Amino acid sequence: MKPILKIVIVISLFFSVSSCDFLEVETVGRTTMPNFFSDVPGLKAGLTGSYTKMFNYYSSEFYKYPEVAGNMVDLNLISSDVEMVDQFNFTSDPEQEVGAVGYIWRKILEALANVNNVLEYAPPLIDAFPNQEAEIKLVQAQALFLRALCHFDLYRVYAQPYNYTADASHLGVPVLLVTPGPDDLPSRATAKQVFDQIIKDLNTAESLFGDSPMRDAYHVSKKAVWALLSRVYLYKEDWNNAITYASKVIEQSSLAYENDYLAMYNNMIAGEEAILRLNGVLKSKSLGIFFSSGNPLVTAADTLMSLYTDAEDIRLQLFAPDINNEVNITTKYRIEVDYTPELERYDPFILRVSEIYLNRAEAYVRNNDLTNAANDLKAIIGRALNKNVSEVELDYANRDELLFLIKKERAKELCFEGHNFFDIVRYKDDLVRGVTTASNVQHLSYPNDLFVLPIPQTELNANTNMQGNPTVNN
């Protein structure tokens, strides 16, 4: 048996991507890697395949995991084999290759291998096609961002938060800058090493983008690099850099208001405040099914709905009662414009401007700059209530109370978008669910070995250098 880390990704003539064992490459209907990447159109096609692979993991278990493992949703346990039930109950098994444990690991690593192929073959093309150097550098910039995102996302699922140890010396995830060969047995880097590489890739991407304008929300841009850096530095608790990069985004961006805010969820458009989304045209409908308004597996928990204390909050329009008028369901994945089946799509957000305001507000408050923190928080609340910032009043007496308000606003604003559990863990908060939860787990104290998924057992069996996670891999 070969470890997942030792797969190689082969890009077909149709720009779809599939995995196979190393050197056991099917040649019918496929080109070899060097031939495929022998010119700039091939390199761009490889990048297109990379975006597809990113969508594959964002539209499935990875996006659902931080919602069901958190404390703001309930899972409808209509049977014992409901999708994500083990993550809801914190009973994930390393043997579960078909499901979140195995699929998140595999899908992110497949995306990472695809991106690394693009980055490996890009430099020689600059020498071969010097008149297309600018185009090649833009491909490299996007690929470096995607590589950083793959490492960051893999880390958030399988490793304890950056602040778990004082010097970030605890186990992170493998840092993979090339696709491993048949005899390579990668090991897990430390948390610090992983974050250092993520930041390095993003800084290089920022430089390569130069003054290139943002193309659209479905392609990586310099603004996306800044936005991800603001998030990475927030997780790292580097408050100054989190503020710096969030400010770069905010200076060039605007929030979406009123109908434009609702439309970015319901009208199959990117949305004014979208920084990066993944295009789901002719791809998986998994998110639409999982959060379906017809027969929802996931509903809003009382812990979430109780946070919306103002009936005028526009975000309440993104909820609807189920058919029995008993529970609230999200309509962030409901299409409310006419469309034909081939146009139906569900585009997961990776980055949007509202998050960046909340990133900066949190960084400000942790830096004891309460005035600026309050102003950023008021911007989000004002938009939600259709008020000017000057009309928004916050009730807090100290730093901790303002931080609590920011946490609440973050839960309301980013619900069902893949943040909740990751935020709880990086806050070093206990997981506390409402008394009506259908889960067997109502409370977990921080720190906790259950706050990460196990490394898939097949990986451990095949790679003697790979270490499992305490408790969950035992």
**Does residue 24 carry a pLDDT above 50?**
no
434 has a pLDDT exceeding 70: yes
Domain boundaries of the chain, sorted by first residue: 4-259+351-462
State the chain's mean pLDDT as an integer.
92
Higher confidence at residue 207 or residue 82? 207
Res. 77 pLDDT band, cuts 50 70 90: confident
- What's the pTM? 0.94
Nearest CA among 247, 436, 456, 440 for reference residue 356: 247
User: What mean pLDDT comes out for the span 53-69?
Assistant: 97
Structure tokens of 434? Answer: 């409402």
pLDDT band per the 50, 70, 90 thresholds, residue 58? very high
Rg (CA), the chain: 22
User: Residue 336 corresponds to which amino acid?
Assistant: E
Buried-exposed string 54-71: b where 16+ CB fall within 10 A, e elsewhere: bbbbbbbbbbbbbbbbbb
Instruction: State how far Cα 370 lies from the chain centre.
Output: 28
Residues in the chain: 474
Q: Would you place residue 5 in the very low, low, confident or very high pLDDT band (cuts 50, 70, 90)?
A: low
Asked whether the predicted pLDDT for residue 152 surpasses 60, the reply is yes
Q: Is the pLDDT of residue 386 over 60?
A: yes
pLDDT at 158 over 70: yes
pLDDT band of 3, cuts 50, 70, 90? low
> Per-residue pLDDT tens for 174-216?
999 998 888 899 999 999 999 999 999 999 999 999 999 999 9
Task: Provide CB contacts within 8 A for 171, sequence distance 6+.
Answer: 159, 160, 188, 190, 191, 467, 469
What does the alpha-carbon distance between residue 114 and residue 178 come to, in Å, rounded to a whole number? 10
Confidence of residue 80 (pLDDT cuts 50, 70, 90): low
Q: Out of 3-7, 145-149, 150-154, 319-323, pick the least confident.
A: 3-7
Q: What are the CA-CA distances from residue 91 to residues 68, 71, 95, 436, 459 (Å)?
A: 12, 16, 11, 19, 19
**What pLDDT score does 128 carry?**
96
* 244 closest CA partner among 259, 263, 231: 231
d(CA 149, CA 235): 13
28 confidence band (pLDDT: 50, 70, 90): very low
CA distance 370 to 390: 16
Question: According to the model, what pLDDT value does residue 79 have?
Answer: 60
In order of 16, 18, 59, 228, the CA distances from 52 in angstroms are 8, 11, 10, 19
Phi-psi region of 423 (alpha: psi -120 to 50; beta: other; left: phi over 0): alpha
pLDDT score recorded for residue 295 = 73
pLDDT band at 138 (very low <50, low <70, confident <90, very high): very high
- pLDDT at residue 173 greater than cutoff 50: yes
Arithmetic mean of pLDDT, 454-464: 96
pLDDT at 26: 31
Task: Give the tens place of pLDDT for each residue, 259-302.
Answer: 999 999 999 999 999 999 999 999 999 999 999 767 778 999 99
Model confidence pLDDT, tens digit, residues 94-119: 999 999 999 999 999 999 999 999 99
pLDDT in tens, 293-344: 677 789 999 999 999 999 999 999 999 998 778 889 999 999 999 999 899 9
pLDDT at 21: 29
Residue type at position 450:
L
pLDDT above 70: percentage of residues in the chain: 92
- 126, containing H or E segment: helix 100-128
Examine the pLDDT at 127 and tell me if it is beyond 90: yes
- What is residue 150's predicted lDDT score, i.e. its pLDDT? 98
The answer to whether the CB of 353 falls within 8 A of the CB of 254 is yes
Q: Among residues of the chain, what percentage have pLDDT more than 90?
A: 86
What's the CATH fold of domain 4-259+351-462? 1.25.40
The answer on pLDDT for 6 being more than 80 is no
pLDDT at 34 over 90: no
pLDDT of residue 35: 87
Helices (H), 159-257: 191-209, 222-236, 239-251
